[in-house]
Structure formats: C-alpha cells, structure tokens
C-alpha cells in the first residue's frame, strides 16, 4: 500500500446471514402505515447508512429514525432521532444515520400522519468487509504536497550547509558548494529512509487492522460419515476480539439454531434445505435424506444472541447417500442443470403434479432495485391451491443464488432480515412488528404448524433487490398439505 493511500473499512449488513447481499429489506406495519424499508450499509465504520422508506399504504407526514446499538449487555443511550426527507415521490422518504461500531443495530422508525403515530424496528447488522483506497484526486493532491515538502526540506538542508557559515554578500566557495551537495544528498537519503519506514509501518498497521477488523464468517468444517453430516464451527480473530463486547451464543430462527443449505455445483441442479441439531459446543449433526453424489456448496445460517446473523460457507464432495425420507422441516428438490439465459423461468413444475407461477411482467430485472417477487401455487388443473400451510411460521421461504455463487440470500415474506433478529428487536423495543407474513409473534413455528394451522393464501411474495447483475437461480419453498414443495426459477439481472 502506498504511504499516501488511505485504507477505509466499509461494512455490510443483512446481510446478515447472506453472502454478497449487503442491503437490508423489510416489509412491515408501523401502526396503521404499511412500509417497505431499504437500508444501504455505510461505506465505513463509523459510517453513514442510507435509509429509504416507501409508504405502501396510508398518508405520512414525517418519519424519524434512531440507531440503537445492540451488544447483548447494555444498549446505551440512543442518539437524537434523524429526520427523513420526502423525495420527489411523496410516498418515499430518504435519510441517513450513523452506525458507529460493528455488530447488531436496530433502526427505530417513528412514523407520523393523520392516523396517528406508528413505530417499526429494522434490524441491521453491520461489519467491516473490505478495504477501499483513497480517492484518486485526494491521493494525487497529497502526493504533490508531499513532494513539495521533500524538495523543500532537501533544498533548505543544502542551502543551510552551503551558505550557513558564509558571511553575507560573499560567494560560497567550491568547498561550501561541495558541503551543500553532500548535505542535500544525506538529507535526501534520510527523507527516503523515513518515508520507507513510514510506508512499512503503515502497511504493517493496515495488515493488522485488516486481520482484526475485517469481518470473516466463522470457519466451518464439514464431514460426512454414512448418512450423517457433521459441521464444526470454529472462531476466528474477529469473533475472539468481540467476545467481551456482545453475546456469541446462538438463538433459534424459525425454531432452528441452524439452517443448512446444500447446493450441488456447478450445475445447481440439487438443492437441500436441512436443519442440523446441536450436539456440542459449535458442533452440529444432520441426518441426510437421499442425496445425489457430487460436489456441494454449503451455506449454514445462524443467529447470535444479539440478533447478529451469519452465514458460514464451506464445500464438500458427497458420495451418493441413500438416507431416510425428509423429516420435519427438511426439504430438497431436483432441477435441470443451470444454463445462463436471457429468458427467465416463469413456470416451475412441482413434485405433486402442480406448478408454481412467477407473477412478473416483461420488465427487465435490474441490480439495486427493490422488487416484490410474487409466486402463485396451482394444482394439477392449474387452479390456485387452497391447502397451503405455514412453513416454519411463514407463508414461504426463498433462496436467491448467483451463478458464480458470489451471492446467496435467504429471504422471507417480511424481507431479507432474520426473523430471530426481528423478534429480538420487537422484544427489546416493545414495538409490535407488523404482520408481513403469517405471525411474526411466533418465533417457534410449532404452534402454527400444529394446532392453529391458519389458512395461507395461494400466493407468496418476497421483497428483495439483487445486489449485482448476472444470472441467478431462485428456490421458492412453500408447504402444501404437509409436504414442502420447492419451485425453481432462473433469471438474468441487468446493470
């Protein structure tokens, strides 16, 4: 790194339990107002997060947002609320808030309008994830100033040695000139040495900061014996240095401490959504269903006690496994090999003879734009089904995967936020989260899947924005008469 290049740490969010998908999306109710919230993580820590709130129903006069840091011990005193500004679209408000540290944050939004005041809490995980160089113009300006100072120091040293002992009006002798040149050379060598040592110090300090400050998910070791998969979580420097700051314990998300996704690559033609059980400190085991042989990318979602979600990534080469049938909330699907195409998949056949329809127009999908992804489930006669059930407390789940695996996002009808973090925010703040899916008040889905079993509409939708252009495969999961069905769709996203 050049000495005039300044390293800046930037953060990601949501991701939170996502890979390469930093923006946060949440659809929910703030009292009588239905909102769609988008949070763009700050460019550095400390840094400014950009927040956009679109009012989907109701008339709103003003919105304020307050960032609260969650470390599991002491939330501290919140700063003064920041007022969001209405944009050209009167239903859209924009604002900025400072996020001062890595970890779990809650953005408390207060909405005021003719129907009163409503509140909504948005969980936002933040962490440093990469380094940006100094802006070119600023770096160039600082380099020019440095060269001016170097030339000035050398010139002053040479002039002092050459003329410092010479009386006024007397011309320096050849000896004085030689001494001046020697002084200038020694000064030049000294300045170069100082700059080199400074550059070495800068690089060493930057490397140390990169090692301790840049976020990396916990290392994950995956092994298979017979039909049992074992996953061992470890700790890295980033986690060890924060143990005293916030809780590293795990909390259940949709009733499970871990959501495990296996995707056969490169064809992306086998997909499994499993839920390992914890058998020790950082050790999980899962009984495998029948699994086709191949190389699998592994994505494992967990949520910390503060609501900070993480996705661990690994890889394993599996032999053909003739395990038992899918149990509980586990599911899987076989699909055709992924082939990049400009055409998107509109219809996906389901295992029970029905089909899933992606309800979208012909408008091109663009990176960075939030969309509602709507899917309708039909029976074999192409009629909307009436027997969908909650799947882990939600109308559905969706996974968005980029063809090069640089993006993996686990999305819910409420958005990209972790439901465990959302429930924790509700508990901490006393703010009731809006009903964006079935019942956010039920973190453990057992009461919903057994007993009450509310009616679920035949359509399920997910708010999300693709982080990057490229080719994507979508896996959309619903539960129908006790069986988990998975629709598979392909799409191309433009810049």
Would you call 88 exposed, middle or buried from its count of C-beta atoms within 10 A (0-12, 13-18, 19+)?
Answer: exposed
Residue 1 lies in a domain: no
- Give yes or no: residues 91 and 14 share one domain: yes
pLDDT at 4: 34
pLDDT-based confidence at residue 140 (cuts at 50, 70, 90): very high
- Give yes or no: residues 343 and 455 share one domain: yes
- Give yes or no: residues 347 and 493 share one domain: yes
Q: What is the CATH number of the domain that holds 436?
A: 2.60.40.1940
Lowest-pLDDT choice from 38-47, 192-201, 315-324: 38-47
- Give yes or no: residues 282 and 417 share one domain: no
pTM score, two decimals? 0.84
Which is more confidently placed, 75 or 37?
A: 37
Count of domains forming the chain: 4
DSSP state letters, 257-296: S-EEEEEETTT--EEEEE-PEEEETTEEEEE--EE-SEEE
- Give yes or no: residues 317 and 429 share one domain: no
- Give per-residue pLDDT as tens, 243-271: 877 778 999 999 999 999 999 999 999 99
- Give yes or no: residues 169 and 258 share one domain: no
Q: Which of 109, 132, 155 is the last residue of a domain?
A: 132
pLDDT at 208: 84
- Give per-residue pLDDT as tens, 299-327: 999 999 889 999 999 999 999 998 888 99
- Give per-residue pLDDT as tens, 322-344: 888 899 999 999 999 998 876 77
Mean pLDDT of the chain: 87
Whether the Cβ atoms of residue 326 and residue 332 lie closer than 8 Å to each other: yes
Strands 483-494 and 365-366: parallel
Residue 493 lies in a domain: yes
Q: How far is CA 316 from the centre of its chain?
A: 24
pLDDT at 363: 86
Q: Which residue has the tokens 């990534």?
A: 313
pLDDT at position 6 over 70: no
Residue 2 lies in a domain: no
Residue 264 lies in a domain: yes
- Give yes or no: residues 438 and 357 share one domain: yes
Q: Which of 374, 406, 411 is nearest to 471 (CA)?
A: 406
pLDDT at position 182 over 60: yes
Q: What is the CATH number of the domain that holds 46?
A: 2.60.40.10
- Give yes or no: residues 197 and 232 share one domain: no
The values of phi and psi at residue 293, to 5°, are -65, 150
Q: Which of 278, 262, 191 is nearest to 405 (CA)?
A: 262
pLDDT-based confidence at residue 455 (cuts at 50, 70, 90): low
pLDDT at 120: 95
**Parent domain of 40:** 8-132
Kindly report the number of other CB atoms within 10 A of residue 249's CB atom. Answer: 11
């Amino acid at each position: 790194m050049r000495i005039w290049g300044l390293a800046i740490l930037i953060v990601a969010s949501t991701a939170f339990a996502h890979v390469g998908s930093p923006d946060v999306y949440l659809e929910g109710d703030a009292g009588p107002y239905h909102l769609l919230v988008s949070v763009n993580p700050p460019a550095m820590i400390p840094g400014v997060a950009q927040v956009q709130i679109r009012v989907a129903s109701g008339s709103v006069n003003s919105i304020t947002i307050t960032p609260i840091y969650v470390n599991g011990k002491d939330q501290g005193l919140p700063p003064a609320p920041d007022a969001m500004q209405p944009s050209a679209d009167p239903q859209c408000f924009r604002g900025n808030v400072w996020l001062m540290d890595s970890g779990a944050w809650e953005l408390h939004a207060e909405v005021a309008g003719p129907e009163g005041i409503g509140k909504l809490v948005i969980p936002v995980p933040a962490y440093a994830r990469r380094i940006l160089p100094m802006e070119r113009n600023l770096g160039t300006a600082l380099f020019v100033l440095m060269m001016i100072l170097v030339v000035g120091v050398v010139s002053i040293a040479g002039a002092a040695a050459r003329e410092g002992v010479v009386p006024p009006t007397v011309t320096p002798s050849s000896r004085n000139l030689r001494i001046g040149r020697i002084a200038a050379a020694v000064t030049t060598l000294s300045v170069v040495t100082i700059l080199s040592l400074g550059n070495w110090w800068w690089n060493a300090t930057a490397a140390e900061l990169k090692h301790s400050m840049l976020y990396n998910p916990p290392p994950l070791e995956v092994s298979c014996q017979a039909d049992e998969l074992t996953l061992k979580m470890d700790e890295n420097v980033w986690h060890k240095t924060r143990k005293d700051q916030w809780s590293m314990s795990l909390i259940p998300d949709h009733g499970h401490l871990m959501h495990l996704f296996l995707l056969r690559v490169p064809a992306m033609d086998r997909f499994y959504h499993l839920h390992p059980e914890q058998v020790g400190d950082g050790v999980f085991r899962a009984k495998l269903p029948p699994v086709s042989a191949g190389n699998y990318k592994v994505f494992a979602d967990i949520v910390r006690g503060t609501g900070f979600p993480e996705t661990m990534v690994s890889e394993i080469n599996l032999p053909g496994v003739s395990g038992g049938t899918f149990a509980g909330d586990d599911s899987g699907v076989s699909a055709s090999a992924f082939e990049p195409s400009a055409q998107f998949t509109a219809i996906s056949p389901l295992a029970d003879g029905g089909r899933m329809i992606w309800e979208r127009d012909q408008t091109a999908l663009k990176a960075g734009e939030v969309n509602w992804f709507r899917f309708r489930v039909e029976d074999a006669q192409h009629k909307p089904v009436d027997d969908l059930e909650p799947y882990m407390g939600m109308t559905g789940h969706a996974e968005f995967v980029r063809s090069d695996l640089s993006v993996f996002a686990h999305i819910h009808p409420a958005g990209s936020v972790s439901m465990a973090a959302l429930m924790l925010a509700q508990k901490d703040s006393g703010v009731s989260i809006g009903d964006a899916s079935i019942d956010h008040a039920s973190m453990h889905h057992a009461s919903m899947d057994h007993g009450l079993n509310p009616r679920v509409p035949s359509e399920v939708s997910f708010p999300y924005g693709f982080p990057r252009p490229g080719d994507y495969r979508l896996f959309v999961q619903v539960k129908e008469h006790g069986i988990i069905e998975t629709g598979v769709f392909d799409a191309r996203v433009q810049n």
